[in-house]
Amino acid sequence: MSSGLVLAGLGLAAVGFGGRYLARYGRVAQQTLKKQLDALPQTGAFSKYYKGGFDPKMSKREAGLVLGVSPAASKAKIKEAHKRIMLLNHPDRGGSPFLAAKINEAKDYLDNARPGSS
């Protein structure tokens, strides 16, 4: 019975010392952690969406990002990606005319940028 009381006393002492430590250094640790998290770049590197607007002139990289294909993708992949995206963003189905124009521009750019295309 006395060993149970000793263990309970040691447990309470450990909780007390732990609480005192947190009360003293918890705020400092919280402020340090907050500073470190604020210092991290907020680029959205972990997002699957591209954070940025459209370039004034379509580039090969941007065309690939718009269609979700590699800029060196085959003509069939470009066509399939264009069809899939246009089904979702067509203005007749409530999509944005601006986005539809950019999607079409990206497809045309990649089709015309391919060597051997007419």
Which tens digit of pLDDT belongs to each residue from 82-98?
Answer: 999 999 999 999 999 99
Full-model pTM: 0.56
Instruction: Kindly report, residue by residue over 38-48, the tens digit of the pLDDT.
Output: 887 666 555 66
From residue 16, alpha-carbon distances to 19, 22, 61, 76, 113 in Å are 5, 10, 60, 69, 71
Question: Does pLDDT of 116 surpass 60?
Answer: no
